[in-house]
């Protein structure tokens, strides 16, 4: 077992959490992307995490984003006949983005990211101290 495997593990988590932060940003940015067609409306993105070995010879799992799935909830239908994109019946369709849910997701991702940075910092300090102890 490599003594640097811990950096691969924590690094994989940083990558996965930043993908999660990116999807939150994308979902919030497109929250008001309305269209007149319910089939072409933006679908909120949800990252799917999976525990997986991240480096050769490492038995402990890191994490990776298996896929960024589309949220399948129905788009929000609003009656706005004056809207330039409204369909013949006067409806527009907005993505089913729940701002509160997205913010909770963002805070959770940020916390997890911080925790993994902390792991990396500690692992670095311990490794450096060990190398120092053996080479003095």
> Which residues of this protein are in contact with another protein, per CB under 8 A?
1, 3, 5-6, 9-10, 12-13, 16-17, 20, 49-51, 59-63, 108-109, 111-112, 115-116, 118-119, 122-123, 126, 129-130, 133-134, 136
Distance CA 112, CA 119 (A): 11
Range 49-76 burial, b when 16+ CB lie within 10 A, else e: eeeebbeeebeeebbbbeeeeebeeebe
Shortest approach of another protein to residue 92 CB, angstroms?
34
DSSP SS3 for 76 = strand
Q: Give whichever of 16 and 31 is closer to another protein, judged by the CB atom.
A: 16
By beta-carbon proximity to another protein, the closer residue of 15 and 94 is 15
| Shorter beta-carbon distance to another protein: residue 57 or 82 | 57
Q: Smallest gap, in angstroms, from Cβ of residue 6 to another protein?
A: 5
Whose Cβ is closer to another protein: residue 6's or residue 41's? Answer: 6
- In angstroms, what is the minimal distance from the CB of 99 to another protein? 20
Hunting for tokens 């949220």 — which residue is that?
71
Contact assessment for residue 20 and residue 94, using Cβ atoms and an 8 Å cutoff: no
- Whole-angstrom CA distances from 58 to 5, 45, 49, 84, 123 are 7, 31, 19, 56, 16
* CB of 26 vs another protein, minimal distance in Å: 18
């Amino acid at each position: 077992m490599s003594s640097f495997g811990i950096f691969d593990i924590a690094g994989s988590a940083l990558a996965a959490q930043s993908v999660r932060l990116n999807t939150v940003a994308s979902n919030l940015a497109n929250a008001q992307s309305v269209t007149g067609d319910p089939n072409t409306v933006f679908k909120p993105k949800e990252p799917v995490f999976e525990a997986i070995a991240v480096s050769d010879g490492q038995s402990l799992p890191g994490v990776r984003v298996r896929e960024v799935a589309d949220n399948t909830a129905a788009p929000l239908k609003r009656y706005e006949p004056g809207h330039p994109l409204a369909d013949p019946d006067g409806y527009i369709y907005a993505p089913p983005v729940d701002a509160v849910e997205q913010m909770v997701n963002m805070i959770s991702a940020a916390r997890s990211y911080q925790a993994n940075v902390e792991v990396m910092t500690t692992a670095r300090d311990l490794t450096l101290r060990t190398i120092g102890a053996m080479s003095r």
